[in-house]
């Protein structure tokens, strides 16, 4: 039986009556412009994250871009970000006209660390974005310490970390703002493009509400140039059905990750580390594998899907003219070896054992 990297049909099958009702209900009401479901979801997601405000936006990229805009970051400014992240983190900085400054990541967490940030701080640094990569929280206490010392805000890119905790607090509640994506394959996914910003800062939330709607607070009065970047009502209706299941899904991801950890012990692959202070939510179960591409081919031949998140670190992308030290050894080493194995809440322990068995066979020389 084939084992895909993610299986969205399995989740839809479990929730189908509720999802269908929610979508049809939104259509029946036809309040599609910042309607009832958007407002309710914003309150529910703020409560879930333990923050005062949530602003629904069009995507995770919009969330990052608008937070930077709301902090008045633009041309001339530098924003320090990890190189090991999805390209959108860098893109959001570039879209404002600011310069992304790429930091190496910590080899254990694979996230931004204070040690990586410190040498890059300059008098043009206006913000630092920590990405909670693969669902693993960045070492946030030391990042908060260094950003406070340099008087710049810490933004969390929590697009892969819905529900993760650091010292008991949820991803998105630690920095000045948390940026979430609800892209369909994320731990909390909509069925189209969607995102949100979480924050305890009322003025920032107010600015974001204007920026997501053409810079408007009152209909046809535009205080500044914004974007069309609103969360849509149908996506919000879907997200409201899914949010109550998120903790259970994340628990299940942790259970399955522990099965992988045990089954891959003693093989040449490096399994994901977990921080003492944090709770991982395994958006990806990302191993570091010698002969990664051969392993992926071998697994594909066995009917097992894998993903590479991501093959090219951001500082080596042609699209963004960023600033970075000549080489970022950790980010480059991760990009060359990282491989995400199948992981989703509906996966079974037996399927995880089968994937791990194939990996063990590959490193033994191919015999199953």
Ligand X SMILES: *Cc1c(COP(=O)(O)O)cnc(C)c1O
**What residues make contact with ligand X under the rule CB under 6 A?**
59-61, 85-86, 88-89, 131, 157, 159-160, 181, 183, 195
* Cβ nearer to ligand X, comparing 132 with 354: 132
Identify which of residues 156 and 295 has a Cβ nearer to ligand X in the complex: 156
The four Cα atoms 17, 22, 25, 26 give a dihedral, to 10 degrees, of -150
Rounded to the nearest whole angstrom, what is the least distance from the CB of residue 221 to ligand X in the complex?
28
Kindly tell me the burial class for residue 7, based on how many C-beta atoms sit within 10 Å of its own C-beta (0-12, 13-18, 19 or more).
Answer: middle
Minimum Å gap between C-beta 183 and ligand X is: 4
Nearer to ligand X, 61 or 306 (CB): 61
State how beta strands 165-166 and 154-157 pair.
Answer: unpaired
Between the two ends of the chain, the Cα-to-Cα distance in Å is: 16
**Residue in the block written with tokens 């039986």:** 1
As measured in angstroms, the least distance from the Cβ of 117 to ligand X is 17
The smaller minimum CB distance to ligand X, of residues 37 and 160, is found at 160
d(CA 85, CA 93): 13
Q: 166 forms bridges with which residues in the sheet?
A: 169, 278
Provide, rounded to whole angstroms, the least separation between the CB of residue 339 and ligand X: 17
Output 85 or 125, the one with its CB closest to ligand X.
85
**In the complex, what is the shortest distance from the CB of residue 186 to ligand X, in angstroms, rounded to a whole number?**
6
> Where is 127: in which H helix or E strand?
strand 125-131
- Quote the Cα angle for 8-12-18, to 5°: 155
Q: Which residue is nearest to ligand X (CB)?
A: 60
């Amino acid at each position: 039986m084939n084992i895909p990297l993610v299986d969205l049909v399995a989740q839809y099958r479990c929730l189908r009556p509720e999802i269908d009702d929610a979508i049809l209900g939104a259509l029946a009401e036809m309040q599609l412009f910042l309607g009832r479901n958007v407002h309710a979801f914003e309150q529910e997601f703020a409560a879930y994250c333990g923050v005062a405000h949530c602003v629904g936006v069009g995507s995770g990229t919009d969330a990052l871009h608008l937070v930077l805009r709301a902090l008045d970051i633009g041309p001339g400014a530098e924003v320090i970000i990890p190189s090991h992240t999805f390209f959108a983190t860098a893109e959001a900085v570039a879209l404002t006209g600011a310069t992304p400054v790429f930091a190496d990541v910590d080899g254990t967490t694979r996230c931004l660390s204070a040690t990586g940030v410190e040498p890059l701080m300059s008098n043009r640094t206006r913000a630092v974005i920590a990405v909670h990569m693969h669902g693993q929280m960045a070492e946030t206490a030391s990042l908060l310490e260094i950003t406070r010392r340099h008087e710049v805000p810490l933004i969390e890119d929590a697009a892969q970390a819905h529900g993760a905790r650091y010292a008991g607090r949820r991803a998105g509640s630690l920095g000045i703002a948390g940026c979430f994506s609800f892209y369909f394959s994320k731990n909390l996914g909509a069925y189209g493009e969607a995102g949100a910003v979480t924050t305890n800062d009322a003025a920032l939330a107010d600015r974001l509400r204007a920026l997501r709607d053409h810079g408007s607070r009152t209909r046809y009065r535009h205080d500044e140039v914004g974007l069309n970047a609103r969360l849509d009502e149908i996506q919000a209706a879907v997200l409201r059905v899914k949010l109550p299941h998120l903790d259970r899904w994340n628990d299940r991801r942790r259970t399955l990750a522990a099965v992988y950890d045990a089954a891959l012990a003693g093989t040449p692959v490096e399994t994901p580390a977990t921080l003492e202070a944090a709770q991982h939510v395994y958006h990806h179960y990302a191993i570091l594998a010698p002969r990664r591409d051969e392993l992926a081919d071998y697994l594909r031949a066995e009917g097992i899907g894998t993903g590479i998140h991501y093959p090219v670190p951001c500082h080596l992308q042609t699209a963004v003219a960023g600033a970075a030290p000549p080489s970022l050894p950790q980010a480059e080493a991760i990009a060359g070896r990282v491989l995400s194995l199948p992981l989703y809440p509906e996966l079974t322990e037996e399927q995880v054992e089968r994937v791990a068995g194939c990996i063990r066979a590959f490193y033994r020389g191919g015999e199953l």
